[in-house]
């Protein structure tokens, strides 16, 4: 049984997003990680005979397909997808499968192929993505998760857009961990660097902090989650990240057509320097990913 009441009311949440003119990426999963208990998979799945999670396993694939198609139909019925006039612009199948694919040897590739084909068969009219999976099958778009995707992400298919779906604004903490800070300057630099290298979308994870109530959090994860995000769980902006990123976004928006529609060239100049040129307008970035006298410049 599925429960979409109360704080589980996904449609109400998506409509709230839409009412503020914002777009949404839905991570249908069904494994979504997110430091949720059991990766957000229900515990009753374990009782199905012969099931193997996230594998080329018929019992798991049967339950996964049932769930994905149920969620997709819910969204279609409410005209949530951008192809229907809604604000859901991307849908994600699976989550960071590249971290475990090698454990399944060749069966991992077979599972990915199946998952991609099953997702595409739903005909939602917006792209499907797989995060942290550089070999996403067919027209499914692979996306990057991390802190510096402009330098670490390598696309296998240059005919697909470069998407960064998790730009980590800090880091979740487990019991006993030290604080995992990340400066506003480093986040801003990483965003500009990604666009300079041909990126087309950056999504933050997380932009606001929150609390994992009860036993919703994964093992050993603190109940306070991403409390170093630009917005805290009470909706209050946290300086300096909030203001610094707000100004960055205004700059990027003012040049967005050049970034996204202009013909780009990238040239290494040596000694850690490089240029990115966008030929739609007379505009170029000079970037230096190396640290000079205690600071990194872009």
pLDDT at 257: 82
Scanning the chain, the segments in alpha helix (DSSP H) are 10-19, 58-77, 106-120, 149-152, 184-196, 241-254, 256-261
Q: Give the residue from 23, 39, 16, 20 showing the smallest Cα distance to 203.
A: 23
Q: Report the predicted TM-score, pTM, of the whole model to 2 decimal places.
A: 0.91
Say how far apart CA 230 and CA 184 lie, in whole Å.
Answer: 9
pLDDT at 291: 52
pLDDT at 282: 62
- How many beta carbons lie within 10 A of that of residue 78, not counting itself? 16
Tokens of 122: 């739903």
Q: Give the residue from 238, 182, 187 showing the smallest Cα distance to 209.
A: 238
pLDDT at 2: 87
**Per-block mean pLDDT, blocks of 10 residues, the chain (298 long):** 91 97 96 91 95 97 98 98 98 93 88 97 98 88 95 87 95 84 93 90 94 88 89 93 97 86 78 73 65 50
CATH 3.20.20.80 fits 6-262, yes or no: yes
CA 197 to chain CA mean position, Å:
18
pLDDT at 283: 66
Angle at CA of residue 44, ends 39 and 47, nearest 5°: 115
Which residues are the active-site residues? 96, 166
Tokens 């070999």, residue located: 135
Sequence-distant (6+) residues with CB within 8 A of 101 are 108, 109, 112, 133
pLDDT at 294: 46
CA 125 to chain CA mean position, Å:
19
pLDDT at 260: 81
Backbone angles phi, psi at 150, to 5 degrees: -65, -20
């Amino acid at each position: 049984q599925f429960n979409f009441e109360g704080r589980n009311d996904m449609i109400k949440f998506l409509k709230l997003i839409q009412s503020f003119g914002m777009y949404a990426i839905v991570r249908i999963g069904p494994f979504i990680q997110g430091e949720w208990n059991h990766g957000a998979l229900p515990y009753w799945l374990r009782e199905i005979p012969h099931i193997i999670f996230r594998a080329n396993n018929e019992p798991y694939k049967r339950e996964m397909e049932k769930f994905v198609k149920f969620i997709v139909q819910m969204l279609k019925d409410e005209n949530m997808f951008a192809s229907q006039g809604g604000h859901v612009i991307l849908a994600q199948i699976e989550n960071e499968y590249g971290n475990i694919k090698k454990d399944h040897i060749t069966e991992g590739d077979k599972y990915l192929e199946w998952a991609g084909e099953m997702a595409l068969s739903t005909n939602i009219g917006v792209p499907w993505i797989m995060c942290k999976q550089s070999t996403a099958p067919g027209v499914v778009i692979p996306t990057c998760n991390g802190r510096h995707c402009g330098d670490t992400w390598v696309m296998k298919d240059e005919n697909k857009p470069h998407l960064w779906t998790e730009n980590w604004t800090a880091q979740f903490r487990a019991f006993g961990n030290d604080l995992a800070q990340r400066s506003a300057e480093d986040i801003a630099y990483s965003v500009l660097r990604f666009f300079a290298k041909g990126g087309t979308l950056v999504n933050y994870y997380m932009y606001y902090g929150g609390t994992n109530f009860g036993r919703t959090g994964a093992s050993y994860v603190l109940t306070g989650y991403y409390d170093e995000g630009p917005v805290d769980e009470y909706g209050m902006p946290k300086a300096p990240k909030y203001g610094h990123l707000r100004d960055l976004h205004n700059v990027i928006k003012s040049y967005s057509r050049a970034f996204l529609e202009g013909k780009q060239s990238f040239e290494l100049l040596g000694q850690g320097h490089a240029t990115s040129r966008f030929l739609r307008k007379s505009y170029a970035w000079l970037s230096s990913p190396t640290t000079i006298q205690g600071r990194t410049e872009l």
